Chains A and B, each alone.
Chain A
Amino acid sequence: MLSDLLLALDAILAADGKSTGFDGRLVICVKDGALREIWSARLGERPWSGFLTAIPEDTDALMVLDGVQAQAIAEGRPLPDPSAAAIGGDRSLLARFFKRYFAFSNWLDIRAGGRQK
């Protein structure tokens, strides 16, 4: 069963369709034991998103959640056990992605004005 969070992210990005104003590829993985759902977004002038079977080698930022955490985010509830989740790579890209599509101003690295790579 596809995660509600990943479905929503995929739909929102697809429906937006506009340039993100910054480049990069991010992956969000919802992992429960051996089961995993991998969603990726390629950000840039023509954004793209989709579900994959593996993490592309050129991924700039990876976030791994379990099913309960993903569902909590989708429902706007407090993230259970945040330290059990994981981020790899360019954290600021994730921040810029969420800022771009979910317009809020109180998460992590909005202070990171430009992406470092």
Chain B
Amino acid sequence: MKLTSLDISTAHSGSRLDEAIARHPGMPLQPTHAAHAVELAPIEGDVRTNVIKNLGLGSLVDGRSVSQIKRAIAEGVSQLDAVPVLGSVAEVAAKLGLPISSQAMIDRARGDASNPPAAEIEARIAQATEALGAVTAKLGTGQPPAIDTAKLPEAPGVAKEVVEQREIAWSLYQTAKGSLQAGLHELAEAQLELAAAHNLKYFNLAMTHDGFGAYGTDATRLEVMRSQNRMGMVVHQFGLLANARGDQQSHVSSQIKALRWYSDVTSGKNIDHYQPAAFLNSACAYAQLGDLDRGLTALSDMLSACKDDKQRSTMKKVAREDAELLGLYQGHERFVRLTAE
């Protein structure tokens, strides 16, 4: 089973990523982290971004606490009054040879944490649909299979349109992942864009649907969690795509964004025992960033968050059979121990 099919229900134990992080407050980066990063991939930007983003600003960066860094930046920018205003943004960009893009969807860390208005999401879907159509026409490939709305899975207490968007996004995601694995980067990108757009709609609907609402019932809250987890998975694939293209900066940025989505899932209530899936996905993103230790902590939290031994056994099996995880943690003794039967 692939990591990306980890969209399963899982168990509550009160274990949270934040709590796991709290167990290691202020943990400085050790040389071994860097060594892992080098072994795994030449990730620029290393794990500092990851650490300071995901530790509630409680860790050390280059030996300084985040509050020290904030104070330093405050000091630094206090001198910026001497920096001249050279004109409008366009004028300055032109003067300094910086590119300006009119693309509405320029943000490379797609799937950001915002929840844009419905009209914006619809525009994004339309744009991504058109772009995918252009790519498939160019490459002569077929469109992803359409979802048969008459055969949507049962989801008691959840509006049909929520389920519909969920399934469309999931289907696109799976297709995109296949395209990426086949090396069809341009196609994968277009499919991921559309998957992200539909998943954003799924998230938006789950959060706001009339009669249910984000905080109305556990059924709708579960859909919010699921949409957040899947958003992280889509963004994770964007990162792998960037990595395949040699764009390490985007790879790192995307993995961090993915962790933010997973953190949304793992830091809230563990509805229907869903959190272990997000912990497992976090382990993968951490490893992609070169931070195996935090990945292993996430795996440990995954096990703690399971509702019972049966679920724990399932999650262990998923982890030890996942190709991406296996590649990242190859031969790592603690990984083997955590995922052993």
Give A residues with C-beta under 8 Å from B: 1-2, 4-5, 7-12, 14-15, 17, 27, 29, 31, 36-38, 40, 42, 46-48, 50-57, 59-64, 72-79, 82-83, 85-89, 91, 94, 98, 101-104, 106-108
Per-residue A-contact encoding for B73-108, CB less than 8 Å = 1, 0 else: 111111111111111111111011011111100111
Residues of B within 8 Å of A98, CB to CB, are 73-74, 77
Chain B hits for A17, CB < 8 A? 113
Given the complex, which residues of B lie within 8 Å of A76, measured CB to CB? 71-76
In angstroms, Cα B259 to Cα A11, docked, is 12
Residue of B with least CB distance to A26: B89
Our pick among A12, A62, A77, A108 for the contact of B89 (Cβ within 8 Å) is A62
Contacts of A102 in B (CB 8 A): 70-71, 73-74, 77
Q: Are A55 and B57 touching (Cβ within 8 A)? A: no
Give bound CA distance, A75 to B96, whole Å. 25
Given A48-B113, A79-B80, 8 more A-B residue pairs with CB atoms under 8 Å apart are A36-B98, A48-B107, A56-B101, A59-B89, A73-B77, A76-B73, A85-B80, A88-B87
User: Complex Cα distance A76/B106, Å?
Assistant: 31
The answer on a CB contact under 8 Å between B92 and A8 is no
CA distance A8 to B83 in the complex (A): 21
> B229 at interface (Cβ–Cβ under 8 A)?
no
Contact B76 A79 (CB under 8 A): yes
Task: Name the A residues within 8 Å of B49 (CB-CB).
Answer: 2, 7, 10-11
A88 interface neighbour in B71, B74, B82, B86, Cβ under 8 Å: B86
Q: Is the interface of A mostly helix, strand, loop or mixed?
A: mixed
Separation in Å of the A55 CB from the closest CB of chain B?
Answer: 5
Q: Mark B240-269, 1 if CB is under 8 A from A, else 0.
A: 000000000110110011001000000000
- Residue B53, interface by CB 8 Å: yes
- For the complex of A and B, list the 3 residue pairs with the smallest distance between their C-beta atoms, beginning with the closest: A88-B92, A73-B76, A76-B72
> How many residues from B make CB contacts under 8 Å with A?
59
Which residue of chain B has its CB nearest to the CB of A10? Answer: B49
Would A55 and B74 be within 8 Å (CB), given that A29-B98, A87-B84, A108-B80 are in contact?
no
- What are 15 sample pairs from A and B whose C-beta atoms fall under 8 A apart? A1-B44, A9-B73, A11-B53, A29-B98, A31-B96, A40-B107, A48-B114, A57-B100, A72-B76, A74-B73, A76-B75, A86-B86, A86-B95, A98-B74, A107-B78
With contacts A14-B260, A59-B89, A83-B82 known, is A52 near B107, CB below 8 A?
Answer: yes
Please, which residues of chain B bring their CB within 8 A of the CB of A74? 69, 72-73, 76
Q: Are the C-beta atoms of B100 and A52 separated by less than 8 Å?
A: no
The answer for the CA separation of A86 and B81 in the assembled complex, in Å, is 11
- Asked if A106 contacts B98 (CB within 8 A), the reply is no
Query: Are B257 and A50 closer than 8 Å at their CB atoms?
Result: yes
* CB < 8 Å neighbour of B61 from A8, A46, A53, A79: A8
Residues of chain A within 8 A of B217, CB atoms compared: none
Q: In the docked arrangement, what's the CA distance between A40 and B88, Å?
A: 16
In the complex, the answer to whether B45 meets A52 with C-beta atoms within 8 Å is no
Instruction: Report yes or no: A56 in contact with B92, Cβ–Cβ below 8 A.
Output: no
- Decide if B109 touches A4 in the complex (CB within 8 Å): no
Q: Which residues of A contact B87 (CB under 8 A)?
A: 88
